[in-house]
Amino acid sequence: MKTVKEQLEFRDKLLPGLDKAYEKLIEFKKQKNSVLVVMRDGKITHIKPE
């Protein structure tokens, strides 16, 4: 089992990577002019990136 310090270090590395992946996804969807499918309040929603 990892220590709390190791878990916090892992989290601090993981979150910026997820943010970057999200930004790249939005950029890709804008370039391809396609909708982004997300779940909001338990319902599937289609969003056009702007």
pLDDT value of position 50: 77
pLDDT value of position 25: 92
pLDDT value of position 30: 92
pLDDT value of position 9: 95
Whether pTM exceeds 0.75:
no
Residues 6+ apart with CB under 8 A from 35: 29, 46, 47, 48, 49
pLDDT value of position 49: 79
Chain Cα centroid distance, residue 41: 17
Full pLDDT tens readout for the chain, 50 residues:
689 999 999 999 999 999 999 999 999 999 999 999 999 999 999 998 77
Cα torsion for 22, 36, 27, 12, to the nearest 10°?
0
Rounded CA-CA distance 29/5 in Å is 37
